[in-house]
């Protein structure tokens, strides 16, 4: 869909987006994930301009590579509303778009000021003061997410550890590039997969890079709910601690900005229950294994011509980093 077509569709919606909304201006495409387009724009009216954000995918698309299990945006919209009600910082839902809106599968949310680039959050001096508080903030926010009820209009799949590992092993076997390290990981982690008798709502991609951070206040929005599902609460906690999301600050295991103790202590205080450290390390290993497979998927999407891009090739090269991380984690679990 061209920028001109998006502007035209948004112009028709302008009165419904803000009081007195009349015209659309300053449409610009932001950095995007693998399966969604993200656009910033202004709605102008008699009282001034309001900046909003459009997230959309073309009808029928469900991502490529690692994101074939993305939930529909209508379900993401329901989760945003439920998260806001649960005290989770999120961008305010403005509109869950309908087919007649002419934008494909789309949602429109409020603009939130802050920084999302993980390396800056982990290393930039501008965030030095707030950085030590972020792990505890993550713990409290994840506890609130995990306490959320599933919205009545959202259909979330449930994956325990064995199902999640099996899902990625199936994907791995469809790809070129056999890896003895990954195959060892599948075997070891499958044998150690714990049951999940009480699955909770999971964000599914809670990590440095999907958090909007303000230098004075910390986390002001949790972004990108497209991989949400139900499962073990340790899954979200472990994914946040995967080395790839530390952006070089490897000495701070929680997102490159904090420590396990701060994350888990704040989670327990908010949730009223503890998550065992060993469970977090297990899911950190699973997350590392998944990320290695995702890197392979990025390369496959480029080579097949489905989604050619230099970015996907660059991400694909990071498989070797994940393999090294996985060996270290598996040694700890042995």
pLDDT range class, residue 176, cuts 50, 70, 90: confident
Confidence of residue 310 (pLDDT cuts 50, 70, 90): confident
Average pLDDT, whole number, for the chain? Answer: 92
Residue 31's pLDDT is what? 66
pLDDT at 254 over 60: yes
Contacts of 21-25 with CB under 8 Å at 24 or more apart are 21/45, 21/50, 22/46, 25/49
Cα-Cα-Cα-Cα torsion 122, 137, 86, 63, nearest 10 degrees, comes to 20
Residue 275 CA to residue 240 CA, distance in Å, equals 14
Tell me what the mean pLDDT of segment 311-318 comes to. 81
Residues 6+ away with beta carbon under 8 Å from 260: 135, 241, 253, 254, 277, 280
**Helix, strand or coil, per DSSP, at residue 29:** strand
Spell out the domain ranges in the chain: 3-110, 118-333
3-state secondary structure of 140: helix
pLDDT surpassing 90 at residue 318: no
Q: What is the pLDDT confidence band of residue 68, given thresholds at 50, 70 and 90? A: low
pLDDT tens track for 277-295: 999 999 999 999 999 999 9
Please give the pLDDT value at position 34.
55
pLDDT of residue 65: 41
Please, what's the largest Cα pairwise distance for the chain?
Answer: 65
pLDDT at 67: 45
Instruction: Give the least confident one: 200-204, 215-219, 274-278, 304-308.
Output: 304-308
Q: Determine the topology of domain 3-110 in CATH.
A: Phosphorylase Kinase; domain 1 (3.30.200)
User: What is the four-CA torsion angle of 290, 159, 285, 330, rounded to 10 degrees?
Assistant: -110
What's residue 66's pLDDT?
42
* Mean pLDDT in residue range 191-195: 96
Residue 115 confidence (pLDDT) above 90: yes
- Decide yes or no: CATH 3.90.1200.10 for domain 118-333: yes
pLDDT higher than threshold 90 for residue 50: yes
Partners of 106 in beta bridges: 56
Beta strands in 227-287 (DSSP E): 229-231
pLDDT above 50 for 61: no
Structure-token pair, residue 305: 């011509």
pTM: 0.92
């Amino acid at each position: 869909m061209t920028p001109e077509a998006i502007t035209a569709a948004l112009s028709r919606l302008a009165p419904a987006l803000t009081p007195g909304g009349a015209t659309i201006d300053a449409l610009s495409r932001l950095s995007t994930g693998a399966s969604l387009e993200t656009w910033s724009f202004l709605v102008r009216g008699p009282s001034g301009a309001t900046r909003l954000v459009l997230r959309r995918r073309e009808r029928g698309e469900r991502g490529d590579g690692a994101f074939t299990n993305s939930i529909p945006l209508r379900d993401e919209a329901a989760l945003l509303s439920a998260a806001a009600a649960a005290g989770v910082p999120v961008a305010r839902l403005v509109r869950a778009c309908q087919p007649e809106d002419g934008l494909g599968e789309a949602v429109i949310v409020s603009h939130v000021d802050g920084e999302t680039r993980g390396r800056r959050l982990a290393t930039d001096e501008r965030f030095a003061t707030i950085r030590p508080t972020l792990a505890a903030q993550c713990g409290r926010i994840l506890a609130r997410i995990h306490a959320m009820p599933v919205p009545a209009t959202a259909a979330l799949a449930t994956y325990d550890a064995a199902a999640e590992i099996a899902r990625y092993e199936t994907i791995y076997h469809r790809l070129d590039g056999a890896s003895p390290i990954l195959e060892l990981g599948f075997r070891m982690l499958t044998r150690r997969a714990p049951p999940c008798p009480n699955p909770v709502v999971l964000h599914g991609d809670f990590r440095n890079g999907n958090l909007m951070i303000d230098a004075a206040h910390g986390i002001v929005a949790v972004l990108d709910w497209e991989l949400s599902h139900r499962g073990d609460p340790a899954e979200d906690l472990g994914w946040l601690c995967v080395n790839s999301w530390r952006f070089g600050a490897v000495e701070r295991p929680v997102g490159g900005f904090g420590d396990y103790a701060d994350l888990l202590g704040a989670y327990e205080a908010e949730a009223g229950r503890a998550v065992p450290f060993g469970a977090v390390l297990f899911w950190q290993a699973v997350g590392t294994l998944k990320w290695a497979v995702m890197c392979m998927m990025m390369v496959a999407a480029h080579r097949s011509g489905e989604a050619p891009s230099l970015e996907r090739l660059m991400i694909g090269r990071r498989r070797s980093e994940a393999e090294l991380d996985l060996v270290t984690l598996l040694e700890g679990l042995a």
